C-alpha cells in the first residue's frame, strides 16, 4: 500500500462521526440506529476496499452518507414490490398473475389487519371451519355438491391423487401427460402422490376404447388434464368428457378433471376461444374438478376442487388437507372475487376480465393520449391472456411505440425506477400496452417515461 493510500484511509470518517452528522441522524431516525450503523459501516468498508485497490479518490462524508442511504432504501424496500405491467400480457406469471379487485383487496386488509371468524362460529360461540367460507359460493356458481379450497392447483392435484389413488392406477391420455409450469410435470406429481400413471392412446389421438381397455382391478380413476398452456392442431382427437365419465362409472371408478385455468365465464364472448369451465365438466358427469383461483377466475392464488360431496368430504379428512390449506387472506380475497360473479358484476369489477373485455377504441384513445404527452407513435399490436390460459389467443390492441437510442438501456432504466415499468421490446422500439396498465397507474407510468 502506498503512503498516499494510507493517508487517504486515515482521513475516512468513523462510523460514529457519520452518525453524529446531520445526514447520519436523519438515517438513524428513518431506519433505526442499528440499521443505519450497519449501512454506514458497509459504505466505509466499500470505500476502504476501493482505496486499497488503487482508487485513491477520497470518499467524502456526503458520498458515504449517500451510498449508505441508497443501500438502506433498497434493503428496506425489499425485492417484492409493485410494478406497472405495460407488456399486454394480462395474466403475467412472473408479475404475480391476476391483480385483485378493490373488494378483494379490502377483504384481505379487513381480515389481515385484525381478528376474524376464520375458524369461529359466531352462532354457537365454538370452533368453526375455514373450509366453509367459500364453499357455498362455489357450489352455487358451479352447481357442484361441495367444494374445497387449498393453496394452489398443483396442491389440489396432489391431494386428490393421494386421497383417491395412492398405490393404484390413474388412466390418462398420453397427450395430456404435460408439464404444467415451473418444471412440474404430471408424471412426477403422480409419482409423488403415490399413484401410478397409466398412459393410453397416442400423443395426438386418444379414443374412448383406449380408456376402457386400460382399466384393471388396480385402477382408481380416469383423469382428463386440460392442455390450458399449449394447443395441438392438425390430426388430433380427444375423447369427449361424457365418454370418459361414462366409462369410469361403468367400472365403478371416479372421473376427475384437472382444468388448470378454470374460467367461470364464456371467454368466446370476448373474441377468444372458448375455455372449458368447471360447470361443463360437472354436467358431463365428472365427479371432481380442479382449477386455479388466480388465472381466468381473477382471484388470489388458490386451488379449487368442486364435485361430489362424498369425495370432497374424503379430501377434507385427508392428512394432506391441512398441509395445503389456504390461509385467511387467500380465503378472504377468493370469497370477495366469487361474490362479483354471484352479483353478475365480474366483468366490470375483476381486473383480468375487465382487461379482456376492454374495447379497442378505448385502448386506442389512451395510447393516443400517451403519444401526445410523451412523443412516439401509436401502432397496432396484440395483447395476450397469458398465465397458461388460452394459448395462441390474441386480443387486438394499440401500443405506444418509442424509439430511444438504445431500447435495451431504456427498458433497463424503466425497470430501475421507484415503481418499475415493465414494457416490451420489438424492432428497436419499446412498446407500452394500455390494456394491462391498471387504473391509477397512468400518472406514474408517464412520469417514468418522461424525457426518454
* CATH number of domain containing 116: 3.40.640.10
- Asked if residue 262 lies in contact with residue 91, where contact means CB atoms within 8 angstroms, the answer is no
With H, G, I as helix, E, B as strand and everything else as coil, classify residue 80.
Answer: coil
Contacts of 328 (CB under 8 A, 6+ apart): 111, 112, 116, 118, 130
Final residue of a domain: which of 314, 332, 349?
349
Residues 323 and 375 in one domain: no
Residues 359 and 224 in one domain: no
Residues 190 and 283 in one domain: yes
pLDDT of residue 75: 86
Residues 204 and 337 in one domain: yes
Residues 431-440 as b or e (16 or more Cβ within 10 Å = b): bbbbbbbeee
Alpha carbons 174 and 196: distance in angstroms, whole number: 14
Final residue of a domain: which of 42, 77, 112?
77
Q: Which residue has the cell 355438491?
A: 145
The pTM score is 0.88
Residues 230 and 288 in one domain: yes
Residues 205 and 341 in one domain: yes
For each of the chain's 452 residues, which pLDDT tens digit applies?
Answer: 576 666 667 778 889 999 999 999 999 999 999 999 999 999 999 888 888 877 756 578 888 998 999 889 888 888 899 999 999 999 999 999 999 999 999 999 999 999 999 999 999 999 999 999 999 999 999 999 999 999 999 999 999 999 999 999 999 999 888 776 666 788 888 888 899 999 999 878 899 999 999 999 999 999 999 875 556 666 667 889 999 999 999 999 999 999 988 899 999 999 998 999 999 999 999 999 999 999 999 999 999 999 999 999 999 999 999 999 999 999 999 999 999 999 999 999 999 999 999 999 999 999 999 999 999 999 999 999 987 778 778 999 999 999 999 999 999 999 988 899 999 999 999 999 999 999 999 999 999 998 66
Residues 364 and 403 in one domain: yes
- Asked if residue 181 lies in contact with residue 388, where contact means CB atoms within 8 angstroms, the answer is yes
The pair phi, psi for residue 449, each rounded to 5°, is: -85, -25
Residues 387 and 334 in one domain: no
193: containing domain: 100-349
Residues 225 and 303 in one domain: yes
* CATH number of domain containing 90: 3.90.1150.180
Final residue of a domain: which of 349, 378, 400?
349
Residues 337 and 356 in one domain: no
CA Rg value for the chain: 28
Q: How many domains does the chain have?
A: 3
Residues 223 and 172 in one domain: yes
pLDDT of residue 227: 74
pLDDT of residue 391: 78
Residues 202 and 53 in one domain: no
- Transcribe 200-257 into DSSP letters: ES-SSB--HHHHHHH--TTEEEEEEE--TT----SS-B---HHHHHHHHHHTT-EEEE
Amino acid at each position: 500500500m502506498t503512503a498516499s493510500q494510507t493517508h487517504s484511509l486515515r482521513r475516512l470518517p468513523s462510523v460514529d462521526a457519520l452518525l453524529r452528522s446531520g445526514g447520519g441522524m436523519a438515517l438513524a431516525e428513518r431506519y433505526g440506529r442499528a440499521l443505519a450503523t450497519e449501512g454506514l459501516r458497509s459504505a466505509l468498508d466499500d470505500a476502504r476496499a476501493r482505496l486499497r485497490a488503487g482508487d485513491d479518490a477520497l470518499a467524502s462524508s456526503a458520498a458515504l452518507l449517500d451510498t449508505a442511504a441508497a443501500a438502506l432504501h433498497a434493503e428496506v424496500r425489499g425485492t417484492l414490490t409493485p410494478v406497472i405491467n405495460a407488456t399486454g400480457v394480462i395474466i403475467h406469471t412472473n408479475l404475480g398473475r391476476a391483480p385483485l379487485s378493490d373488494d378483494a383487496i379490502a377483504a384481505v386488509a379487513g381480515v389481515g389487519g385484525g381478528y376474524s371468524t376464520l375458524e369461529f362460529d359466531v352462532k354457537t360461540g365454538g370452533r368453526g371451519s375455514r373450509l366453509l367460507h367459500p364453499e357455498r359460493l362455489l357450489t352455487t356458481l358451479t352447481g357442484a355438491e361441495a367444494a374445497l379450497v387449498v393453496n394452489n392447483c398443483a396442491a389440489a392435484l396432489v391431494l386428490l391423487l393421494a386421497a383417491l389413488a395412492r398405490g393404484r392406477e390413474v388412466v390418462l391420455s398420453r397427450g395430456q401427460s404435460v408439464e404444467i409450469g415451473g418444471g412440474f410435470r404430471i408424471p412426477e406429481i403422480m409419482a409423488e402422490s403415490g399413484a401410478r400413471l397409466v398412459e393410453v392412446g397416442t400423443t395426438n389421438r386418444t379414443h374412448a376404447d383406449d380408456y376402457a381397455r386400460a382399466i384393471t382391478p388396480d385402477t382408481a380413476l380416469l383423469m382428463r388434464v386440460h392442455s390450458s398452456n399449449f394447443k395441438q392442431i392438425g390430426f388430433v382427437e380427444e375423447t369427449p368428457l361424457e365418454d370418459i365419465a361414462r366409462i369410469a362409472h361403468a367400472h365403478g371408478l371416479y372421473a376427475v378433471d384437472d382444468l388448470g385455468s378454470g374460467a367461470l365465464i364464456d371467454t368466446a364472448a370476448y373474441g377468444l376461444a372458448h375455455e372449458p369451465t368447471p360447470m361443463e365438466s360437472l354436467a358431463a358427469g365428472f365427479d371432481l374438478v380442479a382449477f386455479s383461483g388466480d388465472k381466468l377466475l381473477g382471484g388470489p392464488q388458490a386451488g379449487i376442487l368442486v364435485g361430489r360431496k362424498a369425495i370432497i368430504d374424503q379430501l377434507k379428512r385427508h392428512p394432506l388437507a391441512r398441509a395445503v390449506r389456504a390461509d385467511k387472506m387467500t380465503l378472504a380475497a377468493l370469497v370477495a372475487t366469487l361474490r362479483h360473479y354471484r352479483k353478475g358484476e365480474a366483468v366490470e369489477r375483476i381486473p383480468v376480465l375487465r382487461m379482456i373485455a376492454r374495447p379497442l377504441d378505448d385502448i386506442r384513445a389512451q395510447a393516443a393520449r400517451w403519444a401526445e404527452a410523451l412523443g412516439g407513435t401509436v401502432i397496432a399490436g396484440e395483447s395476450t391472456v397469458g398465465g397458461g390460459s388460452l394459448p395462441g389467443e390474441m386480443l387486438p390492441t394499440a401500443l405506444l411505440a418509442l424509439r430511444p437510442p438504445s431500447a435495451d438501456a431504456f427498458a433497463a432504466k424503466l425497470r430501475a425506477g421507484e415503481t418499475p415499468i415493465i414494457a416490451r421490446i420489438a424492432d428497436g422500439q419499446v412498446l407500452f400496452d394500455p390494456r394491462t396498465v391498471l387504473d391509477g397507474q397512468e400518472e406514474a407510468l408517464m412520469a417514468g417515461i418522461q424525457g426518454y
